[in-house]
Amino acid sequence: MFDLLTKHLIAPNVWRYSIRAPEIAVKRQAGHFVILRPAANSERIPLTIVASDPAAGTLDIIFQVVGATTRELAALPEGGAIHDIAGPLGHPTHIEKFGTAVMVGGGVGIAPLLPIAQAFKQKGNRVITILGGRSQDFLILENDLKPVSDELFIATDDGSRGQKGLVTDVLKTIISKEKIDIIVAIGPVVMMKAVAELTRPQGIKTMVSLNPLMIDGTGMCGVCRCKVAGKTKFACVDGPEFDGHQVDFDSLKRRLSMFKDEEKKRMEAGN
């Protein structure tokens, strides 16, 4: 059991949890994720790590309520406990000094992006950050990203904050003005695909972090298989980060919808 120390609603339906998990807190690096089960009979779900404090033994996760299991997780009270957490899982992000790095984050994808941006900055890269969301209310972690970003841009669908439009509109302008050495894009599949398509012609190295369905997260079940450069890869042990120019995003999007109907039934049954 893992104690839930604090919980904060940071955007509509988006929670930040601080959990006591001392062993994971020590080992976790940017890019890692965890698999958890809120209660003894819950589904296993993969979630991203936003921060950890090895000294305090805490692990912070951010998640959006999108289905029955995240709803169950969101219902846990402060002082309650999460039944199982396994991690840290996946390969950590490859961090080196590339030069100028652009971090593109959309929605809750901004959560795993924060530690990556921090690590890139610490390695001496110039970091440009672009955050996107439906509206001002859905933007998260702006104040955490500011200190590690040499420049920070915002795009919202409704223009309630920053530029009205998409993160790719901002990225297009940046690419046209200066030489970019690497881009890390994490967010909805359509966003990652759009970023990869935008940077492909220029051949700018573009890393994306994939969020397929997972069960065990250790390479055992194969549900997280993705097509990368025409080959079958398991996001849990081969990823979750891949070269965005090689990823078959359409296959990923389709596979993410696999249990949509079953999930809907479960959500309705729970109400």
Partner 1 sequence: MSPINLNRAHMPEQEPNIRAHNFAEVNTGLTPELAKQEAARCLFCKKPTCIEGCPVHINIPHFIQAILEDHPDEAVRRIRVDNSLPAICGRVCPQETQCEEKCVLAKKGAPIAIGALERFVGDHAIRACILPDMSNVRANGRKIAIIGSGPSGLTCAGELIKFGYAVTVFEALHELGGVLSYGIPEFRLPKEMIVKCEIDTLKNMGVQFVPNAVIGKIHTIPELQDMGYDAIYIATGAGYPTFMNIPGEDLNYVYSANEFLTRVNLMQAFKGDQSATPIYIGKRVAVIGGGNTALDSARSALRLGAEKVYIVYRRSEAEMPGRAEEIKHAKEEGIDFQLLTLPLEYLSHPNGSVRAMRCIRMELAEPDASGRRKPVPIAGSEFEFQIDSAVVAIGTQANPIIAATTPGLETNKWGYITANESGETNLKNVFAGGDIVSGSATVILAMGAGRTAAGQIHESLNSAK
d(CA 103, CA 89): 22
Query: For residues 187-246, which are near partner 1 according to CB under 8 A?
Result: 215-223, 225-227, 232, 237
Q: Is 270 exposed, middle or buried, given 0-12, 13-18 or 19+ CB atoms closer than 10 A?
A: exposed
Among 44, 71, 134, 245, binds partner 1 (CB under 8 A): 44
3-class SS of residue 11? strand
Q: What are phi and psi of 136, to 5 degrees?
A: -50, -40
49: alpha, beta or left? (left if phi > 0; alpha if psi -120 to 50): beta
Find the shortest distance in angstroms from Cβ 10 to partner 1. 26
Choices 96-104, 136-144, 186-194, 258-266 (CB under 8 A): range interacting with partner 1: 258-266
Q: Does 3 bind partner 1 (CB under 8 A)?
A: no
CA distances from 228 to 31, 72, 91, 202, 231 (A): 18, 33, 16, 20, 5
Options 41, 143, 176, 271; binder of partner 1; rule CB under 8 A: 41
* Contact map string, positions 88 to 117, toward partner 1, x by CB under 8 A: xx----------------------------
Q: Least distance from C-beta 262 to partner 1, angstroms? A: 4
CB of 236 to partner 1, least distance (A): 10
Strands 33-37 and 84-89: antiparallel
For partner 1, which stretch binds (CB under 8 A), given 19-27, 143-151, 168-176, 188-196?
19-27
| From 11, 24, 110, 154, residue interacting with partner 1 (rule: CB under 8 A) | 24
Residue whose CB is less far from partner 1, 9 or 258: 258
Measured distance CA(51)–CA(139) in Å, rounded: 18
Binding-residue total with partner 1 (CB under 8 A): 44
Closest CA to 37 of 52, 47, 27: 47
Q: Which stretch binds partner 1 (CB under 8 A): 9-17, 65-73, 132-140, 178-186?
A: 65-73
Only one residue has tokens 């390695």, namely 123
Is 109 within 8 Å of 191 (Cβ atoms)? yes
What's the start-to-end Cα distance of the chain, in Å? Answer: 27
Our CB check for partner 1 shows the closer of 162 and 244 to be 244
With CB under 8 A as the contact rule, the residue among 12, 23, 122, 151 that binds partner 1 is 23
Judged by the rule CB under 8 A, the positions of this chain that interact with partner 1 are: 23-24, 27, 37, 41-44, 68-69, 72, 83-89, 215-223, 225-227, 232, 237, 248, 251, 254-255, 257-259, 261-263, 266, 269
